[in-house]
Chain A
């Protein structure tokens, strides 16, 4: 017992002491928390500096991307990966002391929140303006779209024909009663699509659409986009709303996965109208960055053909820079007309989008 107290006392004392003192000792000082190998080690000799990236992406290939940038420039990259709302709260708590230099999120609506909270800064970069289309970046340079995705309809050609599912409005049409599979409305992809519908047609029409879709649901919203494709392939429903790359990844997957994509077809909605809803993975320079030049250098790197390749190789998003190599598997996706709805507006409609979904009973 005395032994336990002999160990416990100092540990607790140290923990409390560290928590109380404003200037934290290095982590190695806590007996239970030895320093991690990569944790904020001093930059290697001759290094050109360090940037801290707050990223809402979770791809293994991103690690290769950071490593490639380090190798090319000598700039060290520290990364904190988390969900976008979590990163936002972290930055809120850190305020002006935030170590973040670059923010990466996979949704324009998410970037809007960072911008709205004052955590991004307007950046002018001739390189970025030259290669990234204007519709895919914020007008004052608060963020830059680097990779693109389309929200499309997957359908079972044995049950419905292509012209029955060539608009988003079709999903709410009574013809598709009991045929629609969707994921939860909490998901950012659905919120952003709804943001565009509200922005284009107003809240009332958007609510009517949501109610129509709910009335057509084959089952309660559940699972992710891949689960929706599964359901269509298995015949549980005839149509589902998904991002293009989930289908592309299945098409490149195991024989069972390929069987699922063989049973389904893709529709890029609204080709005759406003074009298919797209969204971006985008990067911003943090408002309180200590090294904004390095941060810009990093984002510019992601907009080079090599950076684009690294950014999209695993995700199967579309590169935004013309001339950049298209990731394997995307060649089977046809060219399509994209919506030109300003992406920076998606975020402003997000709370309203959630409220409309909730009232419609779209869980």
Chain B
């Protein structure tokens, strides 16, 4: 029952949009889009997803393994530095990287200055391209995979690894044959989140000029004035995400792994020496600089150069925290309801999880259209409390999946024998849910709560559409300046979003390093 309620709450804005796509005539715009652009959009999205996914894995899994299992210079710092990019929205990284690496930016200017070349005399990687977009998205999204992979590596029994070692497996083989398969569900869950985010990204794709489905959805609506055509494209996007998820589930099969050992031991991280130690440090440093240090440093430079703008930025900070907080609370409760019900494996639970996931893959602008459609049916205007509730609702519809996935992953790693024991001792399903499953799920809840808050803080299009009068948020300010091509002015709100996101990110990292069983450091 709670799952059904949660599923419906999430599904309503999604369904409103899809109904519009089905029943409203989408007109000439749809015919035009189908004939001229659909393949380009589909190809664009598929390529971005493939490349972003590959880069996310490449950035996240080795670094998570390194900081969890080895000792090398800077390890303790990198352990949490590598989560920081999560706090920076994709569109902010896109602004910063385009400014840094663009043809008029400091790097290329210095190059031309030094050589006397013109921009046409040399080759330089183009950030305004599909690989550029994938790079920017991977920079901001790899922490999902890093977090889930690290928490999986952290919480797996050291004994399993030691058993592997004692049977003669080297570190490489232990990783590929023991640790990686055990962590695979968690990694896949993190990757699924990252890819859904990538599929729904609008800000970065638009700024870098890469035609994707989401780009097409917003364009169908803005340039053609056809929300129904936009809704039909949303159908295609949801279909694509569904295929992605089914593939992931099917690939995993029924294979999951169970921790059977109850013996947790203090982990003795292997000390790296010489070249391998330097290699580990340098690769972590390069990743951190690319994903966070350089672009954010550029923003700091820009905002120092410009000085504060005239707008009251602190009000915007307060508004952002209030809105993101209420959205995160709402989404967190829904996620909890869904995850606990999912243990019962009924159709309601399946429906709830599916609706959460489809909400996550839909751009905020489209969900906001759904919310507006609901408001249009009721005797309401979009002001005051209605606007706040509508916005919190859209945040919940959009981001609940970001909470369900880490919590479900935490539950999936718990030994099935625990719930069997509870049932055999005569616990009712609800008692089992509250006394056995909930505490386990809550171990993944810190990750969930963090992701929900940071996501809501970064959300742009729905906030732009639904916020109450006189309620600017940081993302709205950053967008307003950047869309008006005043990147220097956009730097400060962009930095503040990142800063506001950093606090929970650091809390999370601290909680994670404490959560390791047997960890004393």
Contacts and interface: CB of A to CB of B under 8 A. Distances in A.
B118 A234 contact: yes
Contacts, number: 216
Interface residues of B, number: 87
Contacts of A184: 206, 209
A351 B224 contact: yes
A69 interface: no
B255 interface: no
Contacts of B109: 234, 256
Contact of A12 (B108, B118, B333, B483): B333
Interface in B379-413: 379-386, 388-389, 392-393
A39 B381 contact: no
Contacts of A52: 469
A267 B481 CA distance: 27
A1 B438 contact: yes
A93 B389 CA distance: 16
Contacts of A180: none
A29 B382 contact: no
A38 B470 contact: yes
Interface residues of A, number: 82
A29 B310 contact: no
B333 A11 contact: yes
Contact of A224 (B129, B470, B485): B485
Given A15-B392, A79-B470, A58 B119 contact: no
B104 A40 contact: no
A184 B104 CA distance: 18
Given A11-B329, A78-B470, A186 B223 contact: yes
A236 B120 contact: yes
Nearest to B334: A12
A230 B209 contact: no
Interface in B472-503: 472, 476, 479-481, 483-486
Contact of B222 (A1, A38, A80, A186): A186
A203 B102 CA distance: 35
A125 interface: no
Nearest to B6: A12
A26 B380 contact: no
A236 B123 CA distance: 11
Interface in B357-379: 365, 368-369, 372-373, 375-376, 378-379
A260 B486 CA distance: 16
Interface in B201-239: 206-209, 211, 219, 221-225, 227
Given A59-B484, A236-B119, A94 B465 contact: no
A37 B315 contact: yes
A191 B222 CA distance: 11
Nearest to B208: A222
Interface centre among A15, A34, A88 (most CB of B within 10 A): A15
Interface of A: 1, 4, 8, 11-12, 15-16, 18-19, 22, 24-27, 29-30, 32-34, 36-40, 52, 58-61, 63-64, 78-83, 85-86, 88-90, 92-95, 97-99, 113, 183-184, 186, 191, 219-227, 229-231, 233-236, 246, 249, 254, 256, 260, 350-351, 354-355, 358-359, 363
12 contacts: A1-B438, A24-B380, A29-B385, A30-B326, A30-B389, A32-B329, A36-B468, A79-B470, A85-B225, A227-B98, A234-B103, A354-B223
